[in-house]
Amino acid sequence: MKTTKLDERFFDSTRGRIVSLLRDGARTVNELASKLELTDNAVRSHLLSLERDGLIRQSGVQRGARKPHFAYELTAEAERLFPKAYDALLNQLITALKGRLPPAVLEDVLREVGKSLGARHSSDTTPADLEGRLQNALGVLKAIGGAPSVERDDGRIIIRSGGCPLSAAVVEHPEVCELAEALVAEIVGLPVRERCARGESPKCCFEVGE
């Protein structure tokens, strides 16, 4: 399943209702069927689909009157997909900073935050080779919600993502891209220039200098 936030339409569906129920704790097929007023077979069909998407997994067995019943729970992947308030908070924070700081100072603050985040993912075990550091950067971008890959174009190294993990903030505050630029530069240990696509659906793009 693509790493995108579960929207309201999903939660209105049967699969979405199952995910919501499992967020309260592990449940068996019988328990879900009772809550949803569906047959056991109908619930099993939805569970199979959710399991295939990596959103649920079997979490153990509960004793039953006649036979044991498998219980299901959400995976960490599903928990990450639930809407969070982080986007709104970040937008409000940047708006407040813009009202108090000159543009150049705000840029320095964002770069300092990005550099600090990058330093947290760099250590004595950081690979000495560039390829290893690039993979580290991809891992960090994926961890915060991106879908990055490395491209090489006419001697240039490009980190490109089909989406932007900070898209909600970038739409209103394009300078947030400088935070991501500083983060990537700190991890790869080379100058990085962001060439992100901005608009309704921002997409990350970083050119790495050798």
Domain with 52 in it: 8-81
Q: How confident is the model at residue 80, as a pLDDT? A: 66
The CATH number for 14's domain is 1.10.10.10
Query: Around Cβ 186, how many Cβ atoms within 10 Å?
Result: 22
- Asked if residue 93 and residue 30 are part of one domain, the reply reads no
- Asked if residue 159 and residue 99 are part of one domain, the reply reads yes
Sheet with 56-62, strands from edge to edge, namely 27-28, 69-74, 56-62
- Distance of CA 198 to CAs 8, 104, 107, 195, 204, Å? 25, 21, 18, 9, 9
The CATH number for 144's domain is 3.30.1380.20
- Asked if residue 24 and residue 113 are part of one domain, the reply reads no
- Asked if residue 135 and residue 156 are part of one domain, the reply reads yes
Residues making up the chain, counted from first to last: 210
Query: Residue 70 corresponds to which tokens in the numbers above?
Result: 């498998």
Query: Residue 78 corresponds to which tokens in the numbers above?
Result: 């599903």
Mark out the alpha helices in 4-85 (DSSP H runs): 8-12, 14-23, 29-36, 40-52, 76-81
| pLDDT tens for the 210 residues of the chain, in order | 444 445 567 878 999 899 989 988 899 999 999 999 999 999 999 999 999 999 999 987 776 656 678 899 988 777 766 666 677 788 899 999 999 999 999 999 999 999 999 998 776 566 778 999 999 999 888 888 777 899 998 889 999 987 787 887 888 899 999 999 999 999 999 999 999 988 777 889 999 986
3-state secondary structure of 118: helix
The total domain count for the chain is 2
Query: Residue 139 corresponds to which tokens in the numbers above?
Result: 């891992």
Final residue in a domain of this structure, among 30, 50, 81: 81
Final residue in a domain of this structure, among 66, 81, 96: 81
Q: Report the DSSP beta bridge partners of residue 151.
A: 158
- Asked if residue 116 and residue 170 are part of one domain, the reply reads yes
Is the pTM higher than 0.75? The answer reads no
- Distance of CA 167 to CAs 63, 129, 207, Å? 46, 31, 19
- Asked if residue 204 and residue 133 are part of one domain, the reply reads yes
Identify whether 2 is part of a domain: no
- Asked if residue 21 and residue 92 are part of one domain, the reply reads no
- Asked if residue 105 and residue 17 are part of one domain, the reply reads no
- Asked if residue 93 and residue 54 are part of one domain, the reply reads no
